[in-house]
Amino acid sequence: MVSERSRTVGILGGMGPEATLDFMHRIIALTPAVTDADHIHMLVDNNPHVPSRQAAILDDGTDPGPTLVKMAKQLEAAGADVLVMPCNTAHAWQDDIVAATAIPFVSIIDETVARCVEFERVGLLATRACLRSELYQAKFAAADKELLLPTDEELAEFTRLIAIIKTGEKDAAVGVAMQALAEGLCERGAQAVIAGCTEIPLVLDVGALSVPLLSSTDILAEATVAIARQ
């Protein structure tokens, strides 16, 4: 009865909530559509109450794994054909999600790394917990490519900016400061910079840098639309 022209996408969201909406916007914008029915069906658990990934990885806080697994299983039960999670750090629990479900999981890390083939040295902006989990470093080492990371000082500044973005603040100064961090990586030789946190594109346009800014949000959205419309 319902015309299902594409696969249903299950989204583990809310980390943060605004970043999930940004991701959903990209999915809609990337889908060729004349009427509502041409769009992709999205089942979204926009859950800002998932235990902090930062606290779990850095400070031995509550493990978010069981919550993420529960969300994934519920999305699968509700009819999702494929799962995505527009939060880089939460991919530290990707294996738990994949083990608990029978549908494909499209990894934001894998998709973003796949876009780096043309570059020899790539800079990465990501949270302290994402870096501590070595989600990107492991893939770059395997591919024998150089990954430039923020210094401790830059990481402290990045943490400060993400906290501001999460309050909903969209002051232009935050974007300028984020751009400065990305340019710092370019000055050290990065031929492209990965926006490895889905909060970054909320304040920084992909065209703002002197080198390509690889938005993990946009890259996951493109991969999701391609898979949903296969």
**Is 74 near its own copies (CB under 8 A)?**
yes
Token digits for 65? 């794994």
Instruction: Evaluate whether 37 touches 5 at the Cβ level (below 8 Å).
Output: yes
Q: 141: helix, coil or strand? A: helix
**Is 205 near its own copies (CB under 8 A)?**
no
Q: Is 130 a catalytic residue?
A: no
Q: Please give the Cα distance from 190 to 186 (Å, whole number).
A: 4
**Is 62 near its own copies (CB under 8 A)?**
yes
- CA angle in degrees (0–180, nearest 5) for 184-174-219: 70
Q: Please give the Cα distance from 83 to 229 (Å, whole number).
A: 14
Instruction: Evaluate whether 162 touches 170 at the Cβ level (below 8 Å).
Output: no
**Is 48 near its own copies (CB under 8 A)?**
yes
Size of the site for its own copies (CB under 8 A): 44
Q: What is the DSSP letter of 51?
A: P
**Is 160 near its own copies (CB under 8 A)?**
no
Task: Find the shortest distance in angstroms from Cβ 61 to its own copies.
Answer: 11
Q: Is 197 a catalytic residue?
A: yes
**Is 29 near its own copies (CB under 8 A)?**
yes
Which stretch, 3-11, 94-102, 134-142, 143-151, contacts its own copies (CB under 8 A)? Answer: 3-11
Catalytic residues: 87, 197
> In the complex, which residues of this chain contact its own copies (CB under 8 A)?
1-5, 14-18, 21, 24-25, 28-29, 33-52, 62, 66-67, 74, 78, 163, 166-168
